Chains A and B, each alone.
Chain A
Amino acid sequence: MKRRDFLRSTGALGATGALLALGGCDQPSTEPQSPIAYEPGKPVPWINWAGNQSCQPQHRPAPASIDELVSVLKTAKGTVRAVGAGHSFSAVVPTDDTLIATDLLSGVIDHDPVTNTAQVLSGTRLHDLGYRLADIGQALPNMPDMAYLALGGAIVNCAHATGVNFGSMGSYVNSLRLATVGGIFVG
Chain B
Amino acid sequence: MRLLILILLSAISAYSHAAPTERQLRLLSVNCLQCHASAHTGAPVMGNPEAWQPILAQGKQQIMTHVVEGLRGMPPLGYCSACSEADLVTLSEALAGQALPEATP
Contacts and interface: CB of A to CB of B under 8 A. Distances in A.
A34 B30 contact: no
A66 interface: no
Contacts of B82: 60, 62, 101-104
A30 interface: yes
Contacts of B30: 103-104, 106, 123, 125, 128
B86 to A, nearest CB: 10
Contacts of B71: 29-30, 32-33
Given A28-B72, A49-B75, A64-B23, A43 B85 contact: yes
A136 to B, nearest CB: 15
Nearest to A82: B81
A107 B80 contact: no
Contacts of A41: 85
- From A32, A45, A48, A51, residue with most partner B Cβ within 10 Å: A32
Interface in B7-50: 23, 26-27, 29-31, 34
Contacts of B27: 103-104
B73 to A, nearest CB: 10
Interface residues of A, number: 41
Given A103-B31, A125-B30, A44 B79 contact: no
Contacts of B65: 32, 37-38
Interface stretch (A10-18, A83-91, A177-185): A83-91
A49 B34 contact: no
Contacts of A123: 30
A87 B79 contact: yes
A49 B23 contact: no
B61 interface: yes
Interface in A30-56: 30, 32-34, 36-38, 40-49, 51
A37 to B, nearest CB: 7
A38 B64 contact: yes
Interface in A88-131: 99, 101-104, 106-107, 123, 125, 127-128
Contact of A47 (B34, B70, B88): B70
- From A29, A99, A125, residue with most partner B Cβ within 10 Å: A125
Contacts of B99: none
Given A51-B76, A127-B34, A36 B69 contact: yes
A148 B34 contact: yes
Interface in B51-105: 61, 64-66, 68-72, 75-77, 79-85, 88
7 contacts: A44-B77, A47-B76, A49-B70, A86-B77, A101-B82, A123-B30, A125-B31
